[in-house]
Chain A
Amino acid sequence: MTSMRLSGIKIGRRAALALALVTATSGFAFAQQTLKFGLAMPLTGGQASYGNDQVKAAQWAVEEINKAGGINGKKFEMVVLDTQADPQVGIQAVNRLISVDKVPAFITAWSGVVKAVAPIANDNKIVELSIGANAPDISKLGDYVYTTFPLADVDIRAVAEYSAKDMGKKKAAVLFINNETGIGSAEVYRDTFVKAGGQVVAYEAYDQKATDFTGPLLKIRASNPEIIHLQGLVSESPQVIAQARQLGITVPITSYSGIYNPKLIEQLGAAAEGVIATSLAPGASDSPAVKAYVDRWMKEAGRPPNGLPYTQYLYDAPYLVAAIFTSLDKKGVPLTGENVRKEMLAIKTFDLPLTGKVTFADDHTVNKPVYLVEVKGGKWTSKAVVNNK
């Protein structure tokens, strides 16, 4: 009896061990069914209003991809981490995505962060997709850094050329925030405008922490420009425009997609008239898919997304990653950073739901039509579509 009981206990222990092993193995097998990629965006801090909406757009896409069967039946997972749009925090987030979550590719934005984490992506041979940042030198950050978003030399070049050639402006002033985004884009505007036959009569930067812009605006006013290009952030751009109008500067003000937001009109009222912004994605009137997407925002969030075009790119990003993963998975090739990069370049052109076709050029850039929008009669109206050569 005793021996039987003992053996029963032994059997029980073995059974438990086997059961534990089976459970662990099946758990491992189940974990392998999940194919991950990373998303590092500002979820807190000054840029979080944009970051959170972009993450939400990407989450919708991941949900829809999974609803449609995932990656060849396997679950598609997005690991989201906060960068606060701060390079240092971005480095921590990306290190974690690579070393803890073991992602073969990750998406990030904001030029400072994109640049700061590029060496990590290159050293670890993990694909970094910059989506939304537009500093021109992003195309030169290394073999593993790509963008699906046109860089500043696309939309800023378009707005500079349009100002000089189509609007016939001969004298421009450039006012920009003294950071990575501002400096690079201001240079592109200046060079393009001059090349198009115009003259840059004032070229002024303002401090990132400035709360008053009278000084640089007075310098600009003294230079008597026919048009002003403002390269700032959403947090201070409305105040810069308000102060410009208060100081009697009535010439058209161009900027980039950062200020393309309904809130600008609410904040500035009549002072917003004549402000021209860019958009790098089709609007609701240009595409039924975009209309359905905006309608979903209105239904679920009660408002359009902050920075609509950016969220369109972020919505499309998981579809791009999923296409690469699906192709590799079908071939039975392991999902490593090196393989993801090779496959991405092999596929080369992706047709995405909200922003259309994107082709990865050999120089790590992409080209897209630029939609110019202008505040007219108290609302954003379509002004022109510029196709860069």
Chain B
Amino acid sequence: MMNVTVISQILWTSIATSSYFVLFAVAFALILKVNKVFNFAQAGMMSCGFYAAYVAVRVLELPGPFGFAAAVAGGAAMAFLLERFGFSVLRHRRASPMFVFIFTIIASQFIAYFMMMIFGTWPTTIFASMFWPVTLVGEVAVSAWDVPAIGATVAVLVGLWAFLRYTRYGQFMIAVADNADLAELYGIRKDRVLMVAMLAAGVIVGIGMFLYGTRAQVQPSAATELMLFAVAATVLGGIGNIWGAALAAVVLGVVQNSSILFIPSAWQGFLLYAFLFFAIVLFPSGFHLPERSKKLKRTVAAPVVATDGKGD
């Protein structure tokens, strides 16, 4: 069974299907880094994004691009509501991190049940058809969904990187992530920055759910299960490391799908969690690549040497 075609197909499909997982992981890691919240309510943002696209395309019969815009708007709208009427209120009431964490779980379930009441529990997709035509590249089947999905994910990652690096709010987000109190002393309005981070996460998960919902069936409780993969990737990528989470999501997808070459397919889920178990136990802070800035810090912090050549 193991030949170049099979390995290439598994690698390609793993990379293509990890596109939405990367987006879910990045959004989760962003909120963890900036807002310091394990945001399980992200599942609610995901559901809202999906059903907004569903309404646009299936109910209002608008073209696909409107569905995409609706998914983005839906994710962002739910992110706004959660921040404005949830996290912001809890912050001002000085709720403990544990209480905020519990709030995110309750909010995700509340939204799931709310969606269930409106849309029912029948699994559905954004487009009536979930079949995408396939082109053979060599012997590898590449579906018409794969390339746009990978392209959209790369575009989002580049956009996020540019946003964090070159825009004022992006830099404010990094500042708040490093030290929120200090950032406030420098005049950065923390609440506004946290809202921007939530909106960015909402947009990202909206795009992720549009990708997922055009390929597989979704029901209100599906987002919670999809979230677990994002949480796993975030933990593995290093808490608060956005790009580490993205990379971990791809690696996890490839490892899980490639495992079919060595073990029965029924064990794929087991393997994922076994891998996570050992990764967390052995690397509790996630995997870290050597950082150049650390070398710089060591240079700056070198011991002062007396003029006579003796250390003090």
Residues of A within 8 A of B (CB): 44-49, 178, 204-212, 214-216, 218-219, 222, 234-236, 238-239, 242, 245-248, 266-271, 306
CA distance A208 to B226 in the complex (A): 13
Q: Counting CB contacts under 8 A, is B225 at the interface?
A: yes
Mark each residue of chain B from 190 to 229: 1 if its CB lies under 8 Å from any CB of chain A, else 0. Answer: 0000000000000000000000100111010100011000
Contacts of B141 in A (CB 8 A): 246-248
Q: Which of B94-150 contact A (CB under 8 A)?
A: 116, 120-123, 125, 128-132, 134, 136, 141, 143
Q: Which of B26-34, B41-49, B164-172, B263-271 lies on the face that meets chain A?
A: B263-271
Q: Are B268 and A206 in contact (CB under 8 A)?
A: yes
Number of interface residues of B (CB under 8 A): 41
Residue of B nearest to A246 (CB): B134
**Which residues of B are found within 8 Å of A242, using beta-carbon distances?**
130-132
Contact between A178 and B123 (Cβ–Cβ < 8 Å)?
no
Q: Which residue of A lies closest to B117 (CB)?
A: A44
Contact A271 B131 (CB under 8 A): yes
Asked if B17 is at the interface (CB within 8 A of a chain A CB), the reply is yes
What's the minimum C-beta distance from B5 to chain A, rounded to whole angstroms? Answer: 9
- Interface residue stretch chosen among B6-14, B59-67, B75-83, B231-239: B6-14
- In the assembled complex, which residues on chain B have CB atoms less than 8 Å from the CB atom of A45? 121, 221
Q: Are A215 and B257 CB-contacts (below 8 A) given A44-B116, A208-B269, A246-B141?
A: yes
**Can you name the residue of chain A whose Cβ is closest to the Cβ of B226?**
A211
Nearest CB of chain B from residue A6's CB, rounded to whole Å: 59
Partner of A235 from B116, B212, B219, B261 at Cβ < 8 Å: B219
Please report the C-alpha to C-alpha distance between residue A185 and residue B131 in the assembled complex, in whole angstroms: 27
| Other A-B pairs, 6, CB within 8 Å; known A212-B257, A214-B10, A266-B128 | A205-B266, A206-B266, A212-B13, A215-B259, A218-B10, A219-B260
* Closest partner residue, chain A, to B270 (CB atom): A207
Q: Which residues of A contact B304 (CB under 8 A)?
A: none
Q: Could you tell me if A245 and B131 are in contact, using CB atoms closer than 8 angstroms? A: yes
Docked CA distance A303–B296 (Å): 68
In the complex, what distance in Å separates the CA atom of A270 from the CA atom of B131? 9
Q: Are A48 and B120 within 8 A (Cβ)?
A: yes
Task: Closest B residue to A218 by CB, please name it.
Answer: B6
Closest-CB distance, A2 to chain B (whole angstroms): 63
Shortest A104–chain B CB gap in Å is 31
Q: Which residues of B contact A268 (CB under 8 A)?
A: 129-131
Given contacts A46-B123, A204-B265, A207-B266, contact A212 B128 (CB under 8 A): no
Of A204, A205, A234, A267, which one neighbours B131 at CB under 8 angstroms?
A267
* In the complex, chain B residues whose CB is within 8 Å of the CB of A211: 17, 212, 216, 226
